[in-house]
Structure formats: structure tokens, C-alpha cells
């Protein structure tokens, strides 16, 4: 089954209430360490993403919705989302991932809109991640 990549707005992501089946995947490289991040997000730098896909699949076990982002979600975020979708398709792996989304406007848009940013240095971030019901639209 071919996976599709959809987009989610910051407002939609923020409105999610602690749903345990959602994971936010930050694929920014070095800027995560000094710009902060969305609380509870996993960090898989785009530069090494392909090499660590199997680690990601392990980390998100039990999650069926993954939300990818980079700084602007124009290149790295969507590219990594597609890499994961293609990997799952090629490997015929059923990781339980049903939705792969990309955060519109990325981290920069998230922060510019006044949404909460975590500046902890914990790896992985132990902050509460966003969760609840979500409207998905394709682009």
C-alpha cells in the first residue's frame, strides 16, 4: 500500500491533546541545539536520517501518526518523511505507522506563531508532546 504524505498546521498540531499514538520528528541538524524544539519531539537529523531509520521505527513503536518538521518544512522535513514512507514500502514492514505528516511552516513557523518551545537538553526530550484529534489535509 503506497503511503501518502499530508500536511498539518501548527494550530492543528497544538490542538492535539496528549494522544499516545503521535510522535513529532524533528529533522533539523545543529540548529535544534540552540533554537529549541517542540516538547516531546524525537531528534533525527536529516544528515544521518537514512542511516537511522531502523532506530526511528524502534523509538516510535506503538505510534501510528508521525509529524515531521525541519526549520521551514520545505526540504528536509518532507524529504525525510518520504524517505521513511519509501523505506516502509520497500521493506514491506508493518511498523503500525498509518499517517505520515509534515508540519506546515516548520519549527520557525511554530515558534513565530508564539507556540510553546522547549529548550531542554534532554535526549530524548522528556517534555510533553502535543496530542488529541487531528484534521488532515493533503497538499
Domain with residue 21: its CATH number is 3.40.250.10
The dihedral formed by the CA atoms of 62, 12, 135 and 85, expressed in degrees to the nearest 10: -50
User: 126: burial class by Cβ within 10 Å (0-12, 13-18, 19+)?
Assistant: exposed
Does residue 114 sit within a domain? yes
pLDDT of residue 106 exceeding 50, the answer is: yes
Q: Distances from the Cα of 63 to the Cαs of 7, 19, 110, in angstroms? A: 18, 9, 22
Does residue 67 sit within a domain? yes
Does residue 59 sit within a domain? yes
Does residue 30 sit within a domain? yes
The pLDDT, as a whole number, for residue 28 is 96
Q: How far apart are CA 7 and CA 20, in angstroms?
A: 20
Q: Where are the alpha helices (DSSP H) in the chain?
A: 10-15, 31-35, 53-59, 76-91, 106-112
Does residue 126 sit within a domain? no
Does residue 10 sit within a domain? yes
The chain-wide mean pLDDT, for the chain, equals 86
Q: How far apart are CA 23 and CA 57, in angstroms?
A: 11
The 10s digit of each residue's pLDDT in 112-134 is 999 999 988 877 787 754 333 33
Quick one: average pLDDT of 68-73? 97
Does residue 133 sit within a domain? no
The pLDDT, as a whole number, for residue 101 is 96
Q: What percent of the chain has pLDDT over 90?
A: 65
Contact 67, 136 (CB under 8 A): no
Does residue 37 sit within a domain? yes
Residues serving a catalytic function are 70
Count: domains in the chain = 1
> pTM of the predicted model, to two decimals?
0.86
Domain residue limits at 19: 5-118
Amino acid at each position: 500500500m503506497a503511503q501518502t504524505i499530508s500536511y498539518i498546521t501548527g494550530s492543528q498540531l497544538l490542538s492535539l491533546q496528549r494522544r499516545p499514538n503521535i510522535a513529532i520528528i524533528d529533522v533539523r541538524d545543529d540548529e535544534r541545539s540552540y533554537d529549541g524544539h517542540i516538547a516531546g519531539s524525537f531528534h533525527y537529523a536529516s544528515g544521518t536520517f537514512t542511516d537511522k531509520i531502523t532506530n526511528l521505527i524502534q523509538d516510535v513503536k506503538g505510534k501510528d501518526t508521525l509529524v515531521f518538521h525541519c526549520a521551514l518544512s520545505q526540504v528536509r522535513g518532507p524529504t525525510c518523511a518520504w524517505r521513511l514512507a519509501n523505506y516502509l514500502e520497500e521493506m514491506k514492514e508493518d511498523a503500525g505507522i498509518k499517517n505520515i505528516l509534515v508540519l506546515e511552516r516548520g519549527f520557525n513557523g511554530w515558534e513565530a506563531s508564539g507556540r510553546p518551545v522547549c529548550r531542554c537538553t534532554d535526549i530524548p526530550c522528556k517534555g510533553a508532546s502535543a496530542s488529541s484529534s487531528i484534521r488532515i489535509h493533503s497538499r
